[in-house]
Structure 1
């Protein structure tokens, strides 16, 4: 399944009654499976969930733990970058050379690596003395 198609489809199921800003994410795990997530808002801001976090949770729930590629789409004039928290979540489950594509619903895309998305990533190695 194409990641763009999966992200576009799940975006339509986003729960965004407050911002009306729907986001969809699809990732392919290293096993080849595709996992999707959409943003889910809550009236008690900031208790919502980002699309990327939802896709990562679905991946883990399915028994996968490594991201091979991720695609995120939103209806905006320019590709929307992942928030800081999602950058760290993606880096937890992806190698530094994994491609992250951010896109608009009308087809504009920007692809970067995880290393470019989050330079100076906090890793388990930082906790070696704990």
Structure 2
């Protein structure tokens, strides 16, 4: 059967050449502000909410979705070149807090959910 359609295509090479001529620079460094580390299935819900809150505040935030070990998740923190690790286990879920770790200074603190954005702002600035 005949299907009507309209389309537009621009070769990727041409687009990159034009961007180069126009002086456009692409950020090639993978770096996020906060990487969430849920420790166990019970922490996933809290972590999803905190990641969403940070994104709404303008921060680049992501998390582990595969319930990896803490060691494997800290490797992801390094891979993403994250500035802050946000850790949430069963104890944190019960107390409605998360543990934030500033990767550069190694400073660590427990923060109530409502205060996470404020603490991130103190450590890395406003977005």
Q: Which has the higher contact order (CA 8 A, sep 6+)?
A: 2
Q: Larger helix proportion, structure 1 or 2?
A: 2
Please say which structure displays the higher CA radius of gyration.
2
Q: TM-score normalized by structure 1?
A: 0.30
